[in-house]
Amino acid sequence: MENHDSFVLHGNIIYTPDKNKFISLKDGWMVVEKGKIISVSAEKPASAAGLPIKDCKGKLIMPGFADLHLHAPQFIQIGMGMDYKLLDWLDGYTFKEEPKFADPDYARQIYPIFVDEMTACGTTSSAIFATIHKESTDILCDILAQKGVRAYVGKVNMDTNSAPALTEETAKSLQDTEAFIEKWQNHPLVRPIITPRFVPSVTADMMTGLGKLAEKYQVPVQSHLSENPGEIQLVKELFPQDKYYMSVYDRFGLFGQTPTLMAHCIHLSAEEIAIMAGKNVYAVHCPASNLNLTSGLMPLRKLLDAGVKVVMGSDIGGGHTLYMPHEIVRAIEISKIRSIEHPEEKALRLSEAFYLATKAGGEFFGQTGSLETGYSADFLITDVPDFQQGRTVEEQLQYFIYHGTAQDIREVYVNGLSVKN
């Protein structure tokens, strides 16, 4: 079938309309018109008449994944320096890698490989940190737009406590950020997001300017929060007048004044969790990164019970895989480890973890991440081995999440258009 955005799919359909249940349909029907899901049903609907049928019998059809925290320039340092903790890893590796993106030719070489791999892994929506460099960040956006995937992209801001090659002049950084926002704010798929690296890398002047830009252009914000005890101590020393780490972002209009993604959120008091729950702030759980950098075990159940919006991220290169099913499994594993020491924190079920990595994350972009009427047709088609054909659709998904690989993902669609090479 040609790359056509109105068609009917026939196969094993599965998705999570809410976190407590899968809906699955063996040999079900999904009608896509002009890039949107019109219906999902057990029987072939009348609306399917006249549309081309895509036969996916014996395969799984599921929503694409949402990876709401990752660093594109760190794609090439995956696995390196994993014996370090956060601050030493940043100094020892990351702050030596990211200056390379001052050269746009380097970005042209690396970023297409990154985008291809992310898409092949089934990620259809993402929130990406680029680097401080405006030209390379534009190049990353161009590649994502050309590919046709959904993304928020941030030109990173850093004007203090950083390697000299990554320390910007504050006014210039703000000018570049504003120009970047103006260039991308109306793109249908690739949008700007304000991206102070984390509190230790930005001055009060920078945060003041970024808060104003968020308000002026009504663009979202992303950063890091309470990932590592050394980082939290540093924030206390830099901003002693603020009660909590999150109070600093909040004071400058960078904590839910526009939709905000905060990666990690591991070491939070009950009071901080309650504050977060009352704001338009999403905690991005990055389980692989949290283990690799020995950052800690995020109390995910506590955040969910308090009503915090939680989504998932790969956080490469703190994380080591762009393949979100493995982050889903790691999130479940970490929650099980926590439940051993804290029996009141019930372990995450697969439907919950799948929901966080699809519909919960997709919500940041609008209606994507589920296979419900009105949602964007952002979905994957995956192989099911012959020896699993006799199982229920939910069991086939369980097998895919735990044992599948990117090679099992045959096709990836965004807005009803194929985006996988």
CB of 31 vs ligand GUN, minimal distance in Å: 41
Q: Give 318 or 416: the residue with its C-beta nearer to Fe ion.
A: 318
Find, among 186, 126, 171, 181, the residue nearest to 152 by Cα.
126
List of residues contacting Fe ion (CB under 5 A): 263, 315
Task: Tell which phi-psi region holds residue 395, choosing left (phi > 0), alpha (psi between -120 and 50) or beta.
Answer: alpha
Q: From the list ligand GUN, Fe ion, none, pick the one residue 227 interacts with, judged by a Cβ distance below 5 to 8 Å according to partner type.
A: ligand GUN
Other C-beta atoms within 10 Å of 33: how many? Answer: 16
Q: How far is the CB of 317 from Fe ion (least distance, A)?
A: 9
Q: Give the nearer residue to ligand GUN in terms of CB position, either 67 or 227.
A: 227
Check binding of 224 to ligand GUN (CB under 6 A): yes
Query: What does the alpha-carbon distance between residue 255 and residue 260 come to, in Å, rounded to a whole number?
Result: 6
Question: Is 289 a residue that touches ligand GUN (CB under 6 A)?
Answer: yes
Q: Tokens for 340, please give them.
A: 């051993």
Q: Which is nearer to Fe ion, 30 or 225 (CB)?
A: 225
For Fe ion, the closer of residues 67 and 408 by Cβ is: 67
90 vs 115, beta carbon nearer ligand GUN = 90
Give the footprint of ligand GUN on residues 79-108 (CB under 6 A): 86, 90, 94
Rounded to 10 degrees, what is the CA torsion of 84, 86, 88, 89? Answer: 70
Q: Does 136 bind ligand GUN (CB under 6 A)?
A: no
For ligand GUN, the binding residue among 10, 54, 59, 71 (CB under 6 A) is: 71
User: Does 330 contact ligand GUN by CB under 6 A?
Assistant: no
Burial of 360 (0-12, 13-18, 19+ CB in 10 A): buried
Q: Which is nearer to Fe ion, 128 or 263 (CB)?
A: 263
Q: Is 127 in the site for ligand GUN (CB under 6 A)?
A: no
Q: Whose CA is closest to 78, among 105, 109, 113, 108?
A: 113
Q: Which two tokens stand for residue 368?
A: 């994507």
417-418 and 409-414 as β-strands: parallel, antiparallel, unpaired? antiparallel
Within 10 Å of residue 271's Cβ, how many Cβ atoms? 10
In whole angstroms, the minimum distance from the beta carbon of 117 to Fe ion comes to 18
What is the smallest separation between the CB atom of 289 and ligand GUN, expressed in angstroms? 5
Rounded CA separation 332/54 (Å): 34
- What is d(CA 151, CA 222) in angstroms, rounded to the nearest whole number? 13
Residue 300 vs 414, nearer CB to ligand GUN: 300
The answer to whether residue 282 forms part of the interface with ligand GUN (CB under 6 A) is no
**Window 143-202: residues binding ligand GUN (CB under 6 A):** 197-198
Q: Would the CA dihedral through 156, 157, 163, 164 be positive or negative?
A: positive
Q: What is the DSSP letter of 191?
A: E
CA distance 358 to 362: 6
> Which partner, Fe ion, ligand GUN, none, binds residue 198 by CB below 5 to 8 Å per kind?
ligand GUN
211 binds ligand GUN (CB under 6 A): no
Question: Considering beta carbons, is residue 93 or 106 the nearer one to ligand GUN?
Answer: 93
The partner in contact with residue 90, picked from ligand GUN, Fe ion, none with C-beta cut-offs of 5 to 8 angstroms by kind, is ligand GUN
Using alpha carbons only, give the angle 40, 46, 50 rounded to the nearest 5 degrees: 105
- Kindly state whether residue 408 participates in binding ligand GUN, applying the rule CB under 6 A: no
- By CB under 6 A, tell whether 363 contacts ligand GUN: no
Q: φ and ψ at 174, to 5 degrees?
A: -70, -40
Q: Which is nearer to ligand GUN, 86 or 149 (CB)?
A: 86
The letter for the amino acid at 295 is S
- Among 318, 325, 369, 404, interactor with ligand GUN by CB under 6 A: 318
- Kindly list the residues in this chain that would bind ligand GUN in the complex (CB under 6 A): 71, 86, 90, 94, 197-198, 224, 227, 289, 315, 318
